[in-house]
Amino acid sequence: MDVKQIEALSSLITTSVAQLKELQGSLKTTEHSASTARAEFLKPSLQVVAAASQLIALVRTPERYLMDMSTAHQLSSSLRVVVETNVVEILREKGKGPKKALDIREISGYNRVNHQKLGRVMRLLATHHIFEEVSPNVFANNTISSAMDTGKSLAELEASPEEKYDGSNGIAALVGLFSDETMHNSVCIADILKAPETTNSFSPFDAPFSLAWPGTRNIKMYDWLSLPENRPRLKRFGMAMNGMNSMTPSDAILRGFNWSSLPQGSIVIDCGGGVGSVSLPIVQTCPHIHLIVQDTERVVAEAPAFWQANQPEALAQGRVSFQAHDFFQPQPAVNNNVAVFLLRMIMHNWPDAECVQILKRVRESSNRNTRIVIVDNIMLYASREQTIAGQDTGSSDPDALAPEPLLANWGAANSLSYKQDINMLSNHNACERTVPEFAALLSQAGFRIVEVHQAHQSWLPQIVAVPV
Ligand SMILES: C[S@@+](CC[C@H](N)C(=O)[O-])C[C@H]1O[C@@H](n2cnc3c(N)ncnc32)[C@H](O)[C@@H]1O
């Protein structure tokens, strides 16, 4: 056992906890979510999580550690059960006593899941700090399970199950997406990676998704989600994207590229921008910018209602407009003087060849002052060494790396990025990328990187590139 490293990690935990205590002292609340969501808490809490996870890997026997990891799918499956059978909402609405707890038989009376089986599912989750087992077979929500509360009453859930996630924070929908579609797809990763005919393919049609469901061999996941029979899945997917955004500070888009530096009247195009919710802070803080939101016809049709609800004056003043546009096609001719093309969470959905096609379409409409801002995960290597000889790694932000003896990429504290990378593989045969990988794609389309905003304070980093 590496006692020296164990000591270094526990001392890092001690100093990080002291920082958290000092920060907490400056707040008027002891509420868990009020503090951990704040930007200044991020670095010390990341340090605690990274150090504690590394400590566990060091002190657990290797066999035990491997068994913990290889059975982790049971957590996903159990989460899917509780989300799809409304356990969180049942406990919130029907729970008794100060903790709002319920015996498993009573929970079962509401969702009609066998109480013995549901109890075992709940106990696994409570064993991992999701729900509390307050006494034998009696469960209550805790801060973590409550994050999956859609806020709906049981009567509403019963009457309109398809609307379960509407108007929620999207976290239950995201848990649903990860533990249902994405988990199904990932079961087939090994089959796709081992088969000689698919292992070297980077076609979106050879994603593990293609083997995961009846009839998906020749269809891409987004097209499959759009089939009429998958309407509930598509609806949940849309809400899951909101869940992703709700985990990011609402002004994260402003923490990187300097939007206010753009000249008066500059046009910004949010490519594949959904309804434009991510660009809302840009329009709110930079009244001199004109925003065009582009997405598929079905998606942009929803956008005016979003802006009417959130920034009606920008809509009335014509500072935001909408275009149905396929980003694989040339930009409409009117978009000939664009200051910035924004692509947020677009590149990670597509294999390299498709990304280059999208970037080339953008390059065709760029002039020498045009910038492209890519907002996506930036992958770090787990090793301390981050550069590869002969590769353009761009300007890297040294604050992005974790301090020693942690893994340089923040280890398990940053595991969602690495799981998302495998999710992208499972769903689309796509990936999250390192700076050199982004640099390679951009250079094939005639761009070069000029800024990398990689700091962990903003969940999604930004890459700024210019035409060459
Ligand atoms: C992962 S979402 C990202 C949405 C938004 N940029 C954000 O960050 O929240 C990907 C978006 O790409 C859009 N999309 C997919 N294929 C497209 C295409 N060929 N042309 C334009 N938009 C497309 C989807 O409709 C969806 O809104």
Domain annotation covers residue 384: yes
Ligand 1, atom 19, residue with closest C-alpha:
326
Say if CB 130 and CB 65 are below 8 A apart: no
Domain annotation covers residue 158: no
User: What does the buried/exposed string (b/e) look like for 333-355 if buried means 16 or more CB atoms within 10 Å of the residue's CB?
Assistant: eebeebbbbbbbbbbbbbbbebb
Q: Residue 395 — very low, low, confident or very high, per pLDDT cuts 50/70/90?
A: very low
Say if CB 149 and CB 172 are below 8 A apart: yes
pLDDT reading at 374 higher than 90: yes
175 C-alpha to ligand 1 centroid (Å): 20
Domain annotation covers residue 162: no
Q: Which two tokens stand for residue 345?
A: 């969470």
Lowest-pLDDT choice from 202-211, 303-312, 450-459: 450-459
The mean predicted confidence, pLDDT, of the chain is 92
Instruction: State mean pLDDT over 313-326.
Output: 95
Q: Are residues 335 and 459 both part of a single domain? A: yes
Lowest-pLDDT choice from 15-24, 119-128, 351-360: 15-24
273 C-alpha to ligand 1 centroid (Å): 6
Say if CB 355 and CB 447 are below 8 A apart: no
* Total of domains in the chain: 4
Domain annotation covers residue 160: no
In whole angstroms, what is the distance from residue 6 CA to residue 11 CA? 9
Q: Are residues 285 and 432 both part of a single domain? A: yes
Q: Are residues 401 and 441 both part of a single domain? A: yes
Q: Residue 202 — very low, low, confident or very high, per pLDDT cuts 50/70/90?
A: very high
Ligand 1 atom closest to Cα of 326?
Answer: 20
Please choose from 174, 295, 359 the residue to mutate so as to test ligand 1's pocket, defined by most ligand atoms within 8 A of CB: 295
Q: Are residues 382 and 270 both part of a single domain? A: yes
Ligand 1, atom 3, residue with closest C-alpha:
345
Q: Residue 37 — very low, low, confident or very high, per pLDDT cuts 50/70/90?
A: low
Q: Are residues 257 and 346 both part of a single domain? A: yes
Ligand 1 atom closest to Cα of 244?
Answer: 9
Ligand 1, atom 18, residue with closest C-alpha:
326
pLDDT reading at 77 higher than 70: yes
2 C-alpha to ligand 1 centroid (Å): 47
Give 405-414 pLDDT, tens digit per residue.
Answer: 999 999 999 9
Place of tokens 């729970």: 95
**How many CB atoms sit inside 10 A of residue 262's CB?**
19
Q: Residue 328 — very low, low, confident or very high, per pLDDT cuts 50/70/90?
A: very high
349 C-alpha to ligand 1 centroid (Å): 9
Q: Which amino acid type is present at position 246?
A: S
Closest CA to 392 of 323, 448, 315: 448
Domain annotation covers residue 163: no
Ligand 1, atom 12, residue with closest C-alpha:
272
Closest CA to 358 of 333, 336, 326: 326
Say if CB 82 and CB 164 are below 8 A apart: no
Q: What backbone phi and psi angles, to 5 degrees, belong to 279?
A: -85, -5
Ligand 1, atom 23, residue with closest C-alpha:
272
Ligand 1, atom 8, residue with closest C-alpha:
344
Tell me what pLDDT residue 370 has: 97
361 C-alpha to ligand 1 centroid (Å): 15
Tell me what pLDDT residue 32 has: 58
Place of tokens 């159990």: 78
Ligand 1 atom closest to Cα of 245?
Answer: 9
Helices (H), 312-449: 312-316, 352-364, 415-428, 435-444
- What CATH number does residue 93 fall under? 1.10.10.10
Domain annotation covers residue 165: no
Q: Three-state DSSP class for 64?
A: helix
In whole angstroms, what is the distance from residue 116 CA to residue 214 CA? 32
Domain end: 230, 246, 262, which one? 246
Q: Are residues 275 and 237 both part of a single domain? A: no
Closest CA to 177 of 458, 379, 431, 426: 426
Residues forming a β-bridge with 464: 373, 451
Q: Are residues 89 and 119 both part of a single domain? A: yes
Q: Which two tokens stand for residue 80?
A: 């899917």
55 C-alpha to ligand 1 centroid (Å): 39
Q: Three-state DSSP class for 268?
A: strand
In whole angstroms, what is the distance from residue 361 CA to residue 369 CA? 16
Tell me what pLDDT residue 86 has: 98
Q: Are residues 140 and 186 both part of a single domain? A: no
Tell me what pLDDT residue 285 has: 95
Say if CB 352 and CB 202 are below 8 A apart: yes
Percent share of the chain, pLDDT over 90:
75
Residues forming a β-bridge with 321: 292
pLDDT reading at 30 higher than 70: no
- What CATH number does residue 314 fall under? 3.40.50.150
Tell me what pLDDT residue 153 has: 97
Q: Which two tokens stand for residue 193?
A: 């990676």
Say if CB 40 and CB 48 are below 8 A apart: no
- CA angle, corner 29, sides to 25 and 33, nearest 5? 105
pLDDT reading at 68 higher than 90: yes
Q: Which two tokens stand for residue 220?
A: 């891409």
Ligand 1 atom closest to Cα of 342?
Answer: 6
Domain end: 246, 275, 293, which one? 246
Pocket, ligand 1, Cβ cutoff 6 A: 222, 241, 245, 272-274, 278, 295-296, 299, 326-328, 344-346, 349
Domain annotation covers residue 204: yes
Say if CB 182 and CB 421 are below 8 A apart: no
Phi-psi sector, 113: left (phi>0), alpha (psi -120 to 50), beta: beta
In whole angstroms, what is the distance from residue 361 CA to residue 327 CA? 7
Ligand 1 atom closest to Cα of 277?
Answer: 9
pLDDT reading at 277 higher than 70: yes
Tell me what pLDDT residue 288 has: 95
Q: Residue 41 — very low, low, confident or very high, per pLDDT cuts 50/70/90?
A: confident
238 C-alpha to ligand 1 centroid (Å): 11
Ligand 1, atom 24, residue with closest C-alpha:
272
Q: Which two tokens stand for residue 137?
A: 């077979």
pLDDT reading at 338 higher than 50: yes
Helix, strand, coil shares of the chain, percent, nearest 5, are 55, 10, 35
Structural domain boundaries enclosing 411:
252-467
Closest CA to 242 of 170, 334, 318: 170
In whole angstroms, what is the distance from residue 378 CA to residue 359 CA? 18
Q: Are residues 97 and 61 both part of a single domain? A: no
346 C-alpha to ligand 1 centroid (Å): 6
Q: Are residues 261 and 306 both part of a single domain? A: yes
**How many CB atoms sit inside 10 A of residue 129's CB?**
11
Q: Are residues 458 and 370 both part of a single domain? A: yes
Sign of CA dihedral 130, 134, 138, 143: negative
Q: Residue 416 — very low, low, confident or very high, per pLDDT cuts 50/70/90?
A: very high
Q: Which two tokens stand for residue 200?
A: 């070297």
Instruction: State mean pLDDT over 349-372.
Output: 96
Please choose from 248, 327, 361 the residue to mutate so as to test ligand 1's pocket, defined by most ligand atoms within 8 A of CB: 327
Could you tell me which residue, 241 or 421, shows the higher pLDDT? 421
Q: Are residues 309 and 447 both part of a single domain? A: yes
Domain annotation covers residue 459: yes
Domain end: 246, 266, 296, which one? 246
Tell me what pLDDT residue 389 has: 75
Tell me what pLDDT residue 239 has: 86
Say if CB 460 and CB 403 are below 8 A apart: no
Tell me what pLDDT residue 28 has: 67
